[in-house]
Amino acid sequence: MTAPTAPRSRRERPAKPALSRAGIVATSVALMKSEGLERLTMRRLAQELDTGPASLYVYFRNTAELHAAVLDELLGEVDLTPVTDDGPWRERLIDILTSYIQVLYEHPSLARSALVARPRGEHYLALLEGLLAVLKSGGVKGERAAWGVDLLLQFATTAAAEHGTRHQAPDAQEEWAAFTQALRSASPERYPNLAATSDDLFTGSPRERRTWIFQVLLNGILTAPAPAAGMSSTLRASV
């Protein structure tokens, strides 16, 4: 008869790796990519790390702060090489913003979270620094540059969130087809201006449209009256 196995002492078990902010963020990113941002809770993360949720609150006050840290980590994928490249400053700025949008495109749930998240890590600071440097090279400085960066990032973040939401919808193609049909079949008698431009509403690739919008925003940043003296130029949470 086989003797019963003696219970294993805690002292004989392999020691768990010590928790660290960097390790928690790395595990959070992996979880988000495999299970989605909605599943990235303190409880689920604690389970993955073989610890208790209370241990995680030492590093993050709440889930929103954790999501912001995940966003900041992924912002390290944004291509900032255009900051120091040669070439027209507008093109370099748009290249950085396009790279930022592309990072969010790859993580639709994070793109929506980015509308309210408040990252403050090194990657977000590097993104702001790069955008401000390129704006400065184009002669945009001070409050005009600060408010301009806020505006540009707001549009880029909103565009990425909208893209992710639309493409995740199960009936997105059917809704788009119905939408285009409604505009193209608008009555010229009742909607003369819409009927005259219905084809133009659908021209251009997504990248061409984004580039045009960025150019429009930059024209406005350059020519709009400067922010009124005494008004705060503190950046709102654009991402």
For residue range 196-219, list pLDDT tens digits in order.
998 899 999 989 999 999 999 999
Q: Report the CATH fold assignment for 19-60.
A: Arc Repressor Mutant, subunit A (1.10.10)
Ordered by start, the domain boundaries in the chain are 19-60, 75-170+180-223
* Domain 75-170+180-223 CATH class label: mainly alpha
Predicted TM-score (pTM) of this structure = 0.82
Quick one: CA dihedral 207, 218, 76, 237, positive or negative?
negative
Contacts 24+ apart (CB under 8 A), 136-145: 137/89, 138/89, 138/90, 138/93, 138/222, 139/222, 140/221, 140/222, 142/226, 142/233, 143/226, 143/227, 143/231, 143/233, 144/221, 144/222, 144/226, 144/227
Alpha carbon separation from 89 to 8, 79, 211, 215, 236 (Å, rounded): 65, 15, 13, 11, 24
**Helices then strands (H, E): number in the chain?**
11, 0
pLDDT truncated to tens, each residue of the chain (239 aa)?
Answer: 555 555 554 445 555 668 999 999 999 999 998 988 888 999 999 999 999 999 999 999 999 899 999 999 999 999 999 999 999 999 999 999 999 999 998 887 788 888 888 788 999 999 999 999 999 999 999 999 999 999 999 999 999 988 877 666 678 788 888 989 999 999 999 999 999 998 899 999 989 999 999 999 999 999 999 887 555 544 454 44
Task: Tell me the pLDDT of the chain averaged across its residues.
Answer: 87
Do 19-60 and 75-170+180-223 agree at the fold level?
no
120: Cα separation from own chain's centroid: 13
